[in-house]
Amino acid sequence: MKNFIKGLWREHPIFRQLLGMCPTLAVTTSALNGLSMGLAVVFVLFFSSLVVSTIKRIIPHQVRIAVYTVIIATFVTIVDIFLKAQFPDISKALGPYIPLIIVNCIILGRCEAFASKHNISSSLSDALGMGLGFTWGLFLLGSIRELFGAGTILAGTAFKIEVMPSAYNPLIVMILPAGAFLVLGLLVAIMNRIEQ
Partner 1 sequence: MKETIKITSVLTVVCMLCAFFLSFVYDKAQIKIKENKKKDIEDAISKLMPEASAEKIEIDNEQIYRLSNKKNGLLAYAFIASGQGYQGKIKMLVVVDSSFKKLEGIEVLESIETPGLGAKIQEKRFKNQFNGLDVSSPIEYVQGSPDKDNQIVAITGATVSSRAVTNILNKKIEELKKIMEIKL
Interface with partner 1 (CB under 8 A): 29, 58-60, 62-63, 66-67, 70-71, 73-74, 77-78, 81-82, 84-86, 88, 92, 95, 149, 170, 172, 175-176
Give least dist CB 135 to partner 1, A: 22
**75/114 with CB nearer partner 1:** 75
Q: What phi, psi does 162 have (nearest 5°)?
A: -85, 95
Given the complex with partner 1, which of 71 and 106 has the nearer CB atom?
A: 71
For partner 1, which is the closer residue by CB, 5 or 63? Answer: 63
Min dist CB 55 to partner 1, Å, is: 8
CB of 92 to partner 1, least distance (A): 6
Residue 17 CB partners (closer than 8 Å, separation 6+): 11
Name the minimum Å distance from CB 168 to partner 1: 14
What's 115's DSSP letter?
I
Plot region of 19 (φ>0 → left; ψ -120 to 50 → alpha; else → beta): beta
Sign of the alpha-carbon dihedral angle for 130, 174, 21, 187: negative
First-to-last C-alpha distance (Å) of the chain: 24
Beta bridge partners of residue 152, listed in sequence order: 162
Cβ nearer to partner 1, comparing 156 with 170: 170
